[in-house]
Structure 1
Amino acid sequence: MKTFYELLIVLSITSSLVDSKMYLSCELAKEFAKNDMERHLIPHWICLVQAESQGNTSKMVEMPNLTANYGIFQINSKDWCGKDKKGGNCNIKCSDLLNDDIKDDIKCAKEVFNRNGLNGWKGVCLIEAESGGDSSKVTEFPNLSTSYGIFQINSKEWCRKGRRGGECGARCEDFLTEDIKLDIKCAKVIYDRHGFKHWKGWLNRCKQRPLPDVSKCSYSTYS
C-alpha cells in the first residue's frame, strides 16, 4: 500500500507530465502563426527555441548571478518576469513560462526581441538547441538563476520564481507546462526589446546558418 508521501510524489510527477510538453518544429510553427509571429521570422523563432530549450516548455536554468531562465524561450527573471509574482518588462510570473501554454512566452519573447534582437538569447539553435522542444526543461545556473521551458526563459530578467514578475511579468514555473502560449507571449516581449540576438543559441547555431525547414508544415498546420 502506498504511503501518503508516495502518493504525493506520484501526483506531483503526473501533474508535471500533464503540464509540460516537448514541441516539434511544425507544432511551433502553428503556435507562432496563431500568435501573430511574422511568418518570415518563424524559422528563426523555431531555431531559437530549439537552441534555448529544445522545445521543452518546463525548462528552467539557474544562473550564477542568482537569476533564472524559464520556458521554451529561456526568459530571464532579472528583467522580464517575477519569480513569485507578476513583474518585469513582460509583467508575468516566471513560473507561468513553464506550462504548456506558450502564448505568454511568445509575447514576452517578442518584447525581448524588440529590445535586444536575437542576441537576447543564450542557447544553441533556438528551440532545438535550447530545449529540444521539451516544454518541461529546467536549467539551473551557478548564479542561482534558472531557465525555463522550450525557449529557456531566464528568471534573472524575464520571470520570477513562485510569483509573477520580471520583464514578462510571469511566474517562471508557468513556462514549464505543455501549453506554450505564455512562453510565446514572453518570447515576443524579449524579441520586441532585443531581437533574436538576445538568444546566444540563435547567434551560435542560427545566425547566417541554415534554418529549420518548415516547408513541409502545411498552411493548415500554421492556422
Structure 2
Amino acid sequence: TNAVERFDWRQVESPDYKEYIARLRGIGCPEQTIRDIIIADVSKLYAEKRAALYNAPKVVRYWQSSETQYTRDNVKYQQAVRALEKEKTELIRELLGVDLRRELAKIYGGEPNFDRSLMFLPPERREPIQEMLDRYRDLERAIYAEADGELNEAQRARVDALRREREAALAAMLSPEELKEYEMTNSRIAREIRGNLNGFDASEQEFLAIYQARQALFDQFGERRRNEDEAT
C-alpha cells in the first residue's frame, strides 16, 4: 500500500497574507474558515503593534499637572490606536473583501461596534460616518490636550470651527430626517434627559415634549448650544 503523506501546516502558512490565502484555497479550505484564520492572524499581529505603543506613565513632578500630562499622553495613544485599527480594517478589506466589524460581529455575536448615535442607519452607511466623527473627535481632543486645564480664546475658536465643520460634514452625509434623528440621539440635552428618565419608559411623544421644553429654556437663557460634551 502507498504511504499516506502527512499534512504539514507549514506547507500552507506564509508571511505573505495573499499567498497564505491562495494556499488555503488551494487545499480546499472553506471561505468562512479562511476569513476566520486570516482575521485571527491579523488581529494578533495588530495586538502586538498596539502593545508596542503603550508607554508606562511618566513621572509627574510636583509642579506639573498629572491630569494635563495624562490627557496629552492619552490623546496621542488613542490617535495611534485608532490609526492602527483603521490600517487593520483596510488590510482585511483588501485581503478578504469584507468589513472587519461585521465579521467580528458574526464571530462574537451582536451588532458591529458603532456609536449608538448611528444605529438607526443601515450598517453599510455607518462606517464612513463613524470614521468622519472619529477624525473630528481626535482633532478636538488634540486641542484640549494642548490646553493647560482650560481653553484660551484661540483654542476655543478652533474647537468651535471644528464643530461647525463636523456639523456641515454630517449634514452632507445625512438626509434632514436622519440628521434630526442623530441630533435627538446625540445632543447634550437629549443625553441629559435620557439620564434623568432612567427607569422610566417614556414614549417618543413624551420624550419630545420634554426635549422641546428643555430646549426652549436652554435658548431663552442664552446658553451656548453644544452638541457634545467637552472632549476629554
TM-score range relative to shorter protein: under 0.3
Tell me the TM-score normalized by structure 2: 0.23
Q: Rg larger in 1 or in 2?
A: 2
Tell me the TM-score normalized by structure 1: 0.24
Greater relative CO (CA pairs within 8 A, separation 6+): 1
Query: Would you tell me which structure has more helix in proportion to its own residues?
Result: 2
